[in-house]
Chain A
Amino acid sequence: MNARACLILFLACLSVSALADPPPGYPFVAHDAGMKQAREEGKPILLYFGRYGCAWCDHVNRKTFSDSGLKQLFSENYVLIYVDAEGGKRIRLAGGERLTEGELGARLGAFATPLFVFMTAEGKVIAKIPGFKTVADFQDYDRYVRGGHYQKQTLLEFLGSK
């Protein structure tokens, strides 16, 4: 194995360790980098709050995030942030406060993983959605977020009016 291949393997190992269990093939980034990227690009944020070893995260990754259309939709239109629900890495909230990834769960009221948090480019929470969701569910959430419906309706009202 040459030096370049060794370096790639090493970086791949590091990224697995740092990001725990995000779905493969998606451009998930760490919290602070994602918040900065969202502000710069003016894109909404999908924050995936996952737990290391979580069965339902595994399930949604395999059944839903494996969909190529969903992968394209999220990769092109959102900044994707992965947060380890039990992680000790420190992050910076939009208001400047520093806390750990795990502490973010307490702030978000995260009682189950996965928890999907849609946010504006400025980091304002639009919707918090726990548990397993299908591709169709995520397509609905995308319409709610990028269609700006959250400014006039709750997510439940929007889904009820489909």
Chain B
Amino acid sequence: MRGLFAVFLALAAVAAVAAPIDVAPMGIYHHLDASGRRNLALAGGQVALVWEDSRSGSPRCYLGLKAGGETTFREYSLGHGECFDPVVAALDGQRFLLAWEDESGINSSIADAAGPGASINLGAGSHASVAAHPVVGAHVAWNAPAGRWQRVWRAQLRVEGARLRAGKAQAADGAPPSDDQSFPALAASEHGVLLAWEDRRHGHTVIYASRSADGQIWNAPLRVSGNPTGKAQNDLGRGTGAMRPAVAGFGARFAAAWLDKRDFLSGYDVYAALSEGAGFAKDVKAQDSFGDAIAQWHVAAAGNRRGDLLIAWDDERDGTSDIWLTRLTPGGYSEDFTFPDLSGPARQSDPAIALDEAGNLHLAWIERAAGGESNGPTRLRYTVLPLPMQ
């Protein structure tokens, strides 16, 4: 199997479309930490990438825009003061929907080829996510305190030319919260809208989700992750962990992927569940068993209209952090694979991914120099690669 894998790597190296682009100044701290890892989006041949970096001495958010064939991103700053977790989704035509958190709370705006437009403020909160599709409209979600607990909120965004108007914020779960909810992740397609989030109502962290077929009426939340709830032997603990859901629409379906600690001795593994009817099929481990003994981090998911689904993450199975991917095939998830630019002695991590309709994988990531400190300065890179044959 390793031989086949090497052949695949060689083919992938030949087929790579272009050398990676260094998106922002190097030697500072870059973060791709959007809730749901939606830092990268494609619309009408345009590429949008959002990130946070420390070039000014404190965390600030940036938007990079480029046409598909261009080799540099035009850069625009977002927000006021310290800014975190910018997120982006395709809106319509060549436009994008943005959100970020700054000193004034959660903000959202539209960006076109000329950059971001006027923003609207949604109030205090953290970890925003956005998604849009012409059929189901534009949506934003975030978590904000509600009494003792953090609670996930969502709102529909009405697009009025170049401006946004926010509908009334609704709790993702109408029932009174009994513990924290956080890290919402949204995906939209012509088949509906999916909102997933971390939920601690069972005394440990699990993944919940709610769906809407039309962007107006939402189903009651249901649990998606099967990480066990309940005390361990000798009346210990309350259950294993699951965190940082990432979601994607692919074809007529949706996928949710997350980090799951049901095997609590070897760190988080990558699990995923696919929509089935109004609910979800049973979740499965999406990574292959070569990654079982080590921890996986930073799971991202991307799909496209023709039905491709890709899940990405980083792990250290080959000695240093590399970016690994798996693709959904008719027989289940493929063996994990990587590409030369995404692996090797440097530390490649924090993937953000998007798939175009031609089957190209657009990928941004954080890279630290080989042999450097795990907290050392970074570079922010982007590339586009052909999706491997199934």
Interface residues of A (CB under 8 A from B): 13-14, 17, 51-59, 62, 85-86, 88, 90, 93, 95-100, 102-103, 106-107, 109-113
Most buried by A among B180, B237, B238, B297: B237
List the A residue with the shortest CB-CB distance to B261.
A51
**Known A106-B349, A111-B266; further 18 A-B contacts with Cβ < 8 A:** A51-B204, A51-B205, A51-B241, A53-B237, A54-B204, A54-B237, A86-B198, A88-B143, A88-B182, A97-B29, A98-B54, A98-B82, A99-B33, A100-B33, A106-B298, A111-B294, A111-B295, A112-B266
B150: which A residues are within 8 A, CB to CB?
88
Contact of B267 with A59 in the complex, beta carbons under 8 Å: no
Contact of B237 with A56 in the complex, beta carbons under 8 Å: yes
Q: What number of B residues sit within 8 Å (CB to CB) of A?
A: 47
In the complex, how many angstroms separate the beta carbon of B61 from the nearest chain A beta carbon? 12
Partner of B204, one of A13, A53, A110: A53
Complexed CA–CA distance, A56 and B58 (Å): 37
In the complex, how many angstroms separate the beta carbon of A68 from the nearest chain B beta carbon? 22
Complexed CA–CA distance, A106 and B350 (Å): 10
Complexed CA–CA distance, A106 and B59 (Å): 19
B198: which A residues are within 8 A, CB to CB?
86
Tell whether B200 is near chain A: CB-to-CB under 8 Å.
yes
Q: Are A90 and B237 also in contact (CB < 8 A) when A52-B204, A52-B205 are?
A: no
> What 10 A-B pairs come out closest when comparing CB atoms?
A53-B204, A55-B237, A111-B267, A55-B232, A53-B238, A55-B236, A111-B295, A58-B236, A106-B297, A86-B243
Partner of A98, one of B84, B127, B204, B234: B84
B33: which A residues are within 8 A, CB to CB?
99-100, 103
B375: which A residues are within 8 A, CB to CB?
93, 95, 97, 107
Tell whether B244 is near chain A: CB-to-CB under 8 Å.
yes
A98: which B residues are within 8 A, CB to CB?
54, 58-59, 82, 84
List the B residue with the shortest CB-CB distance to A106.
B297
Contact of A112 with B84 in the complex, beta carbons under 8 Å: no
16 pairs of residues in contact across A and B, judged by CB atoms under 8 Å: A17-B149, A51-B204, A51-B205, A52-B238, A53-B238, A54-B237, A54-B241, A88-B127, A88-B182, A97-B29, A97-B54, A99-B31, A100-B33, A106-B349, A107-B374, A110-B295
A56: which B residues are within 8 A, CB to CB?
236-237, 264
Contact of B295 with A109 in the complex, beta carbons under 8 Å: yes
Q: Mark B150-170, 1 if CB is under 8 A from A, else 0.
A: 100000000000000000000
Complexed CA–CA distance, A97 and B58 (Å): 8
Complexed CA–CA distance, A106 and B316 (Å): 11
Complexed CA–CA distance, A96 and B55 (Å): 12
Tell me the residues in window 272-299 of chain B with beta carbons closer than 8 Å to chain A beta carbons. 294-295, 297-298
Partner of A53, one of B82, B203, B294, B297: B203
In the complex, how many angstroms separate the beta carbon of A111 from the nearest chain B beta carbon? 3
In the complex, how many angstroms separate the beta carbon of A113 from the nearest chain B beta carbon? 8
Q: Mark B229-243, 1 if CB is under 8 A from A, else 0.
A: 001101011111101
Complexed CA–CA distance, A83 and B294 (Å): 21
Contact of A52 with B241 in the complex, beta carbons under 8 Å: yes
